[in-house]
Structure 1
Amino acid sequence: MKMPVLLSLLAAASLLSSCDSTPRERQEVVERETQKLDTLAERAADKLRVAGRRAARFDSVSRVRNRQPLDPAAEQAFSNELLGSYSAIGSLTPATIEPAFVQFMQQVRARRKQWSQRDWDYATAISRQLNAQFRAVRLDIKGRDELHIRALQTEFTALETSRDVKDLGEAVKQP
Structure 2
Amino acid sequence: MKRAFLFLIPAAAVLASTLTGCDSTPRERQEAVSQGARRIDSIADKAADKLKVAGNRAARFDSVSKVRSRQPIDKAAEATFANELLGTYSSIEQLTPTTIEPAFVQFMQEVRAKRKQWTQRDWDYATAISRRLNQQFRNIRLDIKGRDEIHIRALQTEFTALETGRDVKDLGQAVKQP
Using structure 1 for the length normalisation, give the TM-score: 0.97
Q: Which residue of 1 aligns with 2:68?
A: 65
SS of the residue 2:126 aligns to:
helix
1:147 is the counterpart of 2:153: no
1:163 is the counterpart of 2:166: yes
Q: Which residue of 2 aligns with 1:52?
A: 55
Q: Which residue of 2 aligns with 1:121?
A: 124
16, 24, 27: which one aligns with 1:24: 27
CA RMSD in angstroms, aligned pairs only:
1.0
| Deviation readout 1:86-142 (Å, 9 max, x if unpaired) | 000010000100000000000000000000000000000000000000001100000
What CA distance in whole angstroms lies between the structure 2 residues aligned with 1:20 and 1:138? 81
Q: Which residue of 1 aligns with 2:45?
A: 42
**Shift in Å, 1:70:** 1.0
Which stretches in structure 1 are left out of the alignment for 5+ residues? none
Q: Which residue of 1 aligns with 2:107?
A: 104
| Structure 1 range deviating more: 5-14 or 31-40 | 5-14
SS of the residue 2:24 aligns to:
coil
Using structure 2 for the length normalisation, give the TM-score: 0.95
Which stretches in structure 2 are left out of the alignment for 5+ residues? none
What CA distance in whole angstroms lies between the structure 2 residues aligned with 1:26 and 1:146? 71
Q: Counterpart of 1:3 in structure 2: which amino acid?
A: F
| Deviation readout 1:71-100 (Å, 9 max, x if unpaired) | 111100000000000000010000100000
